[in-house]
Amino acid sequence: MKKIPSIIFILLSFWGCKEPVKEELEPVKTGPTPLAWVKPAGFPEPIYDLSRNPLTEEGVQLGKFLFYDGILSRTNLIGCGTCHQQAAAFTHHGHELSHGVEDRLGVRNSPAIQNMAWNKSFFWDGGVHDMDLVPFNPIENPVEMDEKVTSVIEKLRKTPNAASKIPVDYPKMFKEAFGTEEINSERMMKALSQFMMTMVSATSKYDYYRSGDANAFTTQEKDGLVLFQKNCSSCHEGVLFTDYSFRNNGLMPMRNNDLGRGAITGNASDEHKFKVPSLRNVGLTAPYMHDGRYHSLEEVLDHYTDSVQKMPTLDPLLIQPNGKTGIPLSSRDKQALIAFLRTLSDDQFIRDAKLSDPGIGNAF
């Protein structure tokens, strides 16, 4: 009699434990390989919280494929890399405004994707404050990728697709990066962020000069640096060449009267203000300004000397003590400044194979 309940116990226990046993029999996976993110010497602490999304080789690799794959767009042709091309420091070289699906024109110039770990906000108007929330914007913008993130996730789940340029197996890649094949918005955005965290530009000629190699600069470049510090660095501040503030630099509004930051905050005092861009790689990212109106660094400096418009929200730093707008610079000053600005170009960054299109992207 006594034995019967025990047997029932054992049977019950076995039955109850069937699932975990099966689980246990699966081969032990080692999981994704951690990837160290190294802060360049002299750079501030990053803003992005890497502890919430620690980089792994598999995560970064997945992010790279997602970054370049047109599957993010409604037409399956426009990837992030279409308007953010490596050779132009991840901008859309030669395009004042970028064109998305079906050549629909946007309203702003494609900004450089670099050093995103330090960004306090994103886009020219700072409408997004978190790297992980950035991709929703271009994907859903009707003039960029014109797609729904829910549809992208559906499409990713159905890969590999034999009709693709490269039949990428996304469920497998998500499993390698995150442990299971599940594809959701959190994982998708975190993989994209992981890749973008690796897009660090800190190996320009300027960086060699900065780290103690005085011979890295010519006399003209050194003069340019001095002029830069005197005239430009109050906004294009520090080692990242921006203070991340929003300012009106006196550009005459165009026909669409882009309010910039003002459209985000709804405050009249923010109208026509745009984010101060980093000047790293500025020699590679023409055309310039939020609407791509200037095609060369010469034109940009001519703007600052000659065509800064007086507007209610014009930045006070662009009003001289004598009441004139702009920054006084001689043509010799401008040449030196441009020579200096070109030292911010980072050849290693734009040639780094780890950041390059794995063969999946489209550039137009």
Rounded Cα gap, residues 341 and 284, in angstroms: 10
Rounded Cα gap, residues 358 and 179, in angstroms: 23
Is the Cβ of residue 77 or residue 153 nearer to other proteins in the bound state? Answer: 153
Rg (CA), the chain: 25
Supply the minimum distance, in Å, between the C-beta of residue 281 and other proteins: 25
**Residue type, position 202, single letter:** A
Size of the site for other proteins (CB under 8 A): 48
Q: Does residue number 158 form part of the binding site for other proteins (CB under 8 A)?
A: no
List the structure tokens of 359: 């063969």
SS3 188: helix
Supply the minimum distance, in Å, between the C-beta of residue 77 and other proteins: 19
Contact 213, 326 (CB under 8 A): no
Contact 40, 211 (CB under 8 A): no
List the structure tokens of 113: 């994707």
Residue 129 labelled as part of a binding site: no
Mark residues 277-306: x for contact with other proteins by CB under 8 A, - for none. ------------------------------
Supply the minimum distance, in Å, between the C-beta of residue 268 and other proteins: 11
Mark residues 33-52: x for contact with other proteins by CB under 8 A, - for none. ----------------x--x
Mark residues 240-259: x for contact with other proteins by CB under 8 A, - for none. --------------------
Annotate 122-184 with DSSP letters as a single string.
Answer: BSTT--B--GGGTTHHHHH-TTTT---HHHHHHHHHT---TTSSS---HHHHHHHHHSSS---
Supply the minimum distance, in Å, between the C-beta of residue 38 and other proteins: 23
Q: 10: buried, middle or exposed (CB in 10 Å: 19+, 13-18, 0-12)?
A: exposed
Q: Does residue number 265 form part of the binding site for other proteins (CB under 8 A)?
A: yes
Q: Does residue number 103 form part of the binding site for other proteins (CB under 8 A)?
A: no
Which of 153, 216, 311, 319 is in the footprint of other proteins by CB under 8 A?
153
Annotate 209-271 with DSSP letters as a single string.
Answer: HHTT-GGGS-HHHHHHHHHHHHHTTTTS-TTTT----EEB--PPP-TT---BHHHHH--GGGT
Which of 21, 28, 38, 353 is in the footprint of other proteins by CB under 8 A?
21
Residue 17 labelled as part of a binding site: no
Is the Cβ of residue 24 or residue 103 nearer to other proteins in the bound state? Answer: 24
Q: Does residue number 29 form part of the binding site for other proteins (CB under 8 A)?
A: no
Supply the minimum distance, in Å, between the C-beta of residue 87 and other proteins: 28
Cα distance between the two ends of the chain: 82
Quick check: bond before 253 cis, omega within 30? no
Supply the minimum distance, in Å, between the C-beta of residue 305 and other proteins: 31
Q: Does residue number 75 form part of the binding site for other proteins (CB under 8 A)?
A: no
Binding site for other proteins (CB under 8 A): 6, 8-10, 12-14, 16-17, 19-21, 23-25, 49, 52, 120-121, 123, 125, 127-130, 132-133, 136-137, 139-141, 148-151, 153, 184-186, 189-190, 263-267, 270
